[in-house]
Amino acid sequence: MQRPRRSCLAVPGSNPRMLEKAQGLSADQVFLDLEDAVAPLAKAGARDNIVAALNTGDWRGKTRVVRVNDWTTAWTVHDVLAIVGGAGANLDCVMLPKVQSAEHIVALDLLLTQLERTYGLPVGRIGIEAQIENARGLVNVDAIAAASPRLETVIFGPADFMASINMRSLVVGEQPPGYDTGDAYHYILMRILMAARANDLQAIDGPYLQVRDTEAFRRVAARSAALGFDGKWALHPDQIAAANEEYTPPQADYDRAEHILDAYAFATSDEGGRRGAVMLGDEMIDEASRKMALVIATKGRAAGLTRTATAGA
């Protein structure tokens, strides 16, 4: 069972007020950040704040994640040690940024296993979320996504990624000026989505930095939601509600999906004549239609949708 992750709220670990406020927001997931939202001189204090917030805060209904610093820094081991040692029982996943190879994941997996043993925690319970944020990470994404049974998500990190490939733009998530055809992110999003799905992981879209422009956030979110992504980061409370909506199937699609499931279950039954391909209104449906409908129905049910009374026709 995958966790809901339509909205993944970034919370700087150096800001106790935001660590407090985040608990009252309706994000499916929070990630308490030790990486790029925290200045180097504030990293040690942020570890303490995060441990305290995980242990004493009320995070019910939310997936609790901590983003540690990446393996090229001096901080990763100390971050993981502090967080798992201090609050391992109150932590669902560790997010690893700037993953460049499967070894980065394996190293974190081994470290987590050792710490779980040390602190008497169930071995293998803490999950890993992998951020793909540079060219090397993307070319290795298939191996990265298969590198550990702890992996739960593959995440696109557009800001670092744009820097890594020298994309000529300063507006994260928007099309680079001068690129007047197609979607400059399509290939990247699709590679991440393929690697995620091939390994039964969730695919998560990254941040949109123009936090006051919720309509633009929705436009960008709707694109990755349409491709099949499960959720997106939120940097601001207004982005949470928008993400929760954009990554929930529209009610009409949900109703139609449930209707297809019922109709196909009947068609294939004894009473329905054991038929594998039938007309439903003007559309021919078969086993593949059932699978497509199941994806939408499952996402809708997870988001709490229920069928409207007149659904289906």
Q: Summarize as ranges the residues that interact with Mg ion (CB under 5 A).
A: 133, 157, 160
Partner whose binding site includes residue 258, from ligand GLV, Mg ion, none (CB under 5 to 8 Å by kind): none
Residue closer to ligand GLV (CB basis): 166 or 181: 166
Task: Report in angstroms how near the CB of residue 25 gets to Mg ion at its nearest.
Answer: 22
Partner whose binding site includes residue 158, from Mg ion, ligand GLV, none (CB under 5 to 8 Å by kind): ligand GLV
Residues of this chain that bind ligand GLV (CB under 6 A): 36, 97, 131, 133, 157-160, 206-207
Residue closer to ligand GLV (CB basis): 170 or 292: 170
Partner whose binding site includes residue 173, from Mg ion, ligand GLV, none (CB under 5 to 8 Å by kind): none
Residue closer to ligand GLV (CB basis): 12 or 158: 158
2 DSSP assignment: P
Task: Report in angstroms how near the CB of residue 274 gets to ligand GLV at its nearest.
Answer: 51
Partner whose binding site includes residue 86, from Mg ion, ligand GLV, none (CB under 5 to 8 Å by kind): none
Partner whose binding site includes residue 207, from Mg ion, ligand GLV, none (CB under 5 to 8 Å by kind): ligand GLV
Distance, in Å, from the CA atom of 155 to the CA atom of 157, rounded to the nearest integer, reads: 6
Residue closer to ligand GLV (CB basis): 131 or 224: 131
Contact 285, 252 (CB under 8 A): no
Contact 269, 278 (CB under 8 A): no
Task: Report in angstroms how near the CB of residue 142 gets to ligand GLV at its nearest.
Answer: 21
Helices (H), the chain: 16-21, 43-56, 76-87, 102-118, 135-139, 141-145, 158-164, 186-198, 214-227, 237-246, 251-268, 287-302
Residue closer to ligand GLV (CB basis): 4 or 206: 206
Instruction: Identify which of 77, 4, 10, 55 has the alpha carbon closest to the alpha carbon of residue 236.
Output: 10
Instruction: Identify which of 69, 72, 37, 10 has the alpha carbon closest to the alpha carbon of residue 204.
Output: 10
CB closest to Mg ion, residue no = 160
Task: Report in angstroms how near the CB of residue 104 gets to Mg ion at its nearest.
Answer: 14
Query: In the chain, what is the straight-line distance between the N-terminal and C-terminal CA atoms, in Å?
Result: 30
Partner whose binding site includes residue 206, from Mg ion, ligand GLV, none (CB under 5 to 8 Å by kind): ligand GLV
Residue closer to ligand GLV (CB basis): 70 or 258: 70
Task: Report in angstroms how near the CB of residue 17 gets to ligand GLV at its nearest.
Answer: 22
Residue closer to ligand GLV (CB basis): 36 or 253: 36
Task: Report in angstroms how near the CB of residue 134 gets to ligand GLV at its nearest.
Answer: 9
Task: Report in angstroms how near the CB of residue 165 gets to Mg ion at its nearest.
Answer: 13
Relative orientation angle of helices 214-227 and 186-198, to the nearest 10 degrees: 50
Partner whose binding site includes residue 129, from ligand GLV, Mg ion, none (CB under 5 to 8 Å by kind): none
Q: What is the dihedral of CA 56, 62, 65, 67, to 10 degrees?
A: -100
Task: Report in angstroms how near the CB of residue 208 gets to Mg ion at its nearest.
Answer: 13
Instruction: Identify which of 152, 148, 138 has the alpha carbon closest to the alpha carbon of residue 99.
Output: 138
Q: Which helix (H) or strand (E) holds 130?
A: strand 127-132
Residue 81's Cβ-count burial label (10 Å; 0-12, 13-18, 19+) is middle
